[in-house]
């Protein structure tokens, strides 16, 4: 059974550009969450999608957005990139809502974004 797949694994962008990251959840999983990991702030929740609807959103500016497709695949987009957006972006999937008791949340290997 394939795990959570994130693409691309590594990318370098210039300040002011935008970036789109993709996540394919485990087959049958309907919930996809995104997290940002940086040395300074640690792991921070960005947003969660369930059945194509955003259910929860973390405390990030509007430059960070996401969506989920009917096949549960998800994308996140960051516009007008800043140096501080350099981070590991992790996608996670689960069967139901990520916060339901008993659900196991599986993480992908992440997308390393460097903004120069």
Partner 1 sequence: GDSVTQMEGPVTLSEEAFLTINCTYTATGYPSLFWYVQYPGEGLQLLLKATKADDKGSNKGFEATYRKETTSFHLEKGSVQVSDSAVYFCALAHQAGTALIFGKGTTLSVSS
Sites of contact with partner 1 (CB under 8 A): 4, 6, 33, 35, 42-45, 48, 55-56, 58, 90, 92, 97-102, 104-110
By beta-carbon proximity to partner 1, the closer residue of 25 and 108 is 108
Residues 23, 49: Cα–Cα separation, whole Å: 12
Residues 57-71, buried b or exposed e (16+ Cβ, 10 A)?
eeebeeebbbbbeee
Beta-bridged to residue 54, according to DSSP, are 49
By beta-carbon proximity to partner 1, the closer residue of 14 and 101 is 101
By beta-carbon proximity to partner 1, the closer residue of 28 and 42 is 42
Q: Are strands 74-78 and 87-94 parallel, antiparallel or unpaired?
A: unpaired
| Secondary structure letter of residue 116 according to DSSP | -
Least separation, in Å, of the C-beta of 15 and partner 1?
26
Least separation, in Å, of the C-beta of 78 and partner 1?
18
By beta-carbon proximity to partner 1, the closer residue of 12 and 43 is 43
């Amino acid at each position: 059974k394939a795990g959570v797949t994130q693409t691309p694994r590594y990318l370098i962008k210039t300040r002011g550009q935008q970036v789109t990251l993709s996540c394919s959840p485990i087959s049958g999983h309907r919930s996809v969450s995104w997290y940002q990991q940086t040395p300074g702030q640690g792991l921070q929740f960005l947003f969660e999608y369930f059945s194509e609807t955003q259910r929860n959103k973390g405390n990030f500016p509007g430059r960070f957005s996401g969506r989920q497709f009917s096949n549960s695949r998800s994308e996140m987009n960051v516009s007008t990139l800043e140096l501080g957006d350099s981070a590991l972006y992790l996608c996670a999937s689960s069967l139901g809502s990520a916060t339901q008791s008993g659900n196991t949340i599986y993480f992908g290997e992440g997308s390393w974004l460097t903004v120069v």
